[in-house]
Amino acid sequence: MAADKPAPADRRAHALARLAEERVDHRFKALPPDADGLTVGELAAERRNLFTGGFTTPVLALSAERLEHNLALMEEYATRHSLAFAPHGKTSMAPQLFQRQLDHGAWGITLAVPHQVRVAREFGIGRIFLANELVDAAALRWLAGELDSDPGFRFICYVDSVPGVALMDAALRAAGARRPVDVVVELAAGDGARTGARTEADCADVADAVAATRTLRLVGVAGYEGEVPDATPERVHAWLRRLVALAEEFDVAGRFKGPDGAGGHGLDEIVVSAGGSAWFDAVADEFASLPALSLPVLKLLRSGAYVSHDDGHYKHLTPFNRVPEEGALHPAFRLWAQVVSRPTPEQAFVNAGKRDAAYDLDLPAAQVVRRADGTEEDAAGVTLTGLSDQHGWLRTAAGAVQVGDWVGLGLSHPCTSFDKWQLIPLVEADGTVTDYIRTYF
């Protein structure tokens, strides 16, 4: 370890402690105006109530109990299926949640773009899987410095094209990189899918290009089954079998061995990785069938949306619905908005809109109405039908809501909930706010 670099665990502890020292002010939506000037830690220590402690609407709440349940469930799932776990951090971009995931056994954190990697490194994350090809010369120069200054830092990223390999090699040579960057060849999920080499022959060409460099080290294969066109269980399983077979073919061909027949550049394991939040049961099934290779295999699952789950998209797609004996994830987000207008008996408006609520896949769903006296009722007869920038449109039955009521909304697609809120109250079932989750989008 370089003398000027603290250990990753120390870096994480120091950086997380600094989050509690940040001052509360106008930058953070919904926090109590009378808390201005307090540190986040001081405000958390007051354990204010979300409903009576001065929070303004709209306010996004993350359930403390449901968050812990989801973290523990996925830890148990990965252990039960002999999978290493690198949850996709772009879902939350919340270092406090990264730490919670590591505490629950995660191998590391998956990310998507250089900015996210810089955030993770600032908070001492020691293992990062970048689910993208990295061809940005400035980012590669920075990455080379991180790898060279911290021998314990493990970084893996996709490669999916020969031109991409050439760009990476040129940038790393120009940066004077001393450590090779570990790469996995990405197999595309099919014609019309997102990134990835389209055929096994294309994958072999990419692997050959990597082998011709001194700046890159081939460590495995990977992909994303969530991009399988017109996905069905049969199509997803078929693509995952192709990925497993590709790993076997590369191993038989000696692509993971160095000139002396040993692991290339000191390679001691082969990485095989997949796993979004909709088909991880298929990943577990097919990775279980992977035969022994010439080196130990790191079977790396990357599902990320589980951390907060949702009340829409993933609620219907979660593998736990298909295999209920494995357990069940719980939606952990609720957006509270206030009724600010009721122009007709059939219509009302709340003060949360596109700036506050996830809406890219499904509209929020009205779940509960909280009256001024603190009583709560099921939101029967209340339907959110649309979102303006700062308003939600409600269709209502007579007497279902009145001006001043708070309406609790269930949200779909957690990725676009986290990115709208920089500081999110972590709330216990009785409304007590115990902490604040900082995000970095």
Mean pLDDT of the chain: 95
Whole-angstrom Cα distance, residue 247 to residue 245? 5
Q: Enter the tokens of residue 124.
A: 């001492």
Mean pLDDT of 389-417: 95
Percent of the chain with pLDDT over 70: 97
DSSP letter for each residue of 180-198: PEEEEEEBPSSTT-SSSBS
Asked if residue 172 lies in contact with residue 153, where contact means CB atoms within 8 angstroms, the answer is: no
Mean pLDDT of 315-321: 87
Mean pLDDT of 431-437: 98
Pairing verdict, β 216-222 and 154-159 = unpaired
For the ranges 95-104, 222-231, 314-323, 389-398, the lowest mean pLDDT is seen at: 314-323
In the chain the domains, ranked by start, together with CATH numbers, are: 126-303 (3.20.20.10), 333-410 (2.40.37.20)
Pairing verdict, β 297-301 and 333-344 = unpaired
pLDDT band at 307 (very low <50, low <70, confident <90, very high): very high
Q: What is the identity of the amino acid at 306?
A: Y
pLDDT at 6: 64
pLDDT at 10: 83
Asked if residue 138 lies in contact with residue 31, where contact means CB atoms within 8 angstroms, the answer is: no
Compute the C-alpha angle 272/278/279, nearest 5°.
45
pLDDT at 228: 94
Q: Give pLDDT tens digits for 142-189.
A: 999 999 999 999 999 999 999 999 999 999 999 999 999 999 999 999
Q: Enter the tokens of residue 309.
A: 């789950």
Mean pLDDT of 269-275: 97
pLDDT at 264: 56
Q: Which of the pair, 1 or 305, is modelled with greater confidence?
A: 305
Asked whether the predicted pLDDT for residue 211 surpasses 90, the reply is yes
Q: Which of the pair, 5 or 278, is modelled with greater confidence?
A: 278
Mean pLDDT of 404-419: 94
pLDDT band at 1 (very low <50, low <70, confident <90, very high): very low
Pairing verdict, β 181-186 and 365-370 = unpaired
pTM above 0.85, yes or no: yes
Q: Enter the tokens of residue 232.
A: 């069905």
Residue 438 CB partners (closer than 8 Å, separation 6+): 19, 22, 40, 94, 95, 96, 422, 423
pLDDT band at 439 (very low <50, low <70, confident <90, very high): very high
pLDDT at 4: 55
Mean pLDDT of 122-138: 97
Mean pLDDT of 201-208: 98
Phi and psi for 264 in degrees, rounded to 5? Answer: -55, 130
DSSP letter for each residue of 402-427: -TT-EEEEE-S-THHHHTT-SEEEEE
**Count of C-beta atoms within a 10 Å radius of residue 56:** 12
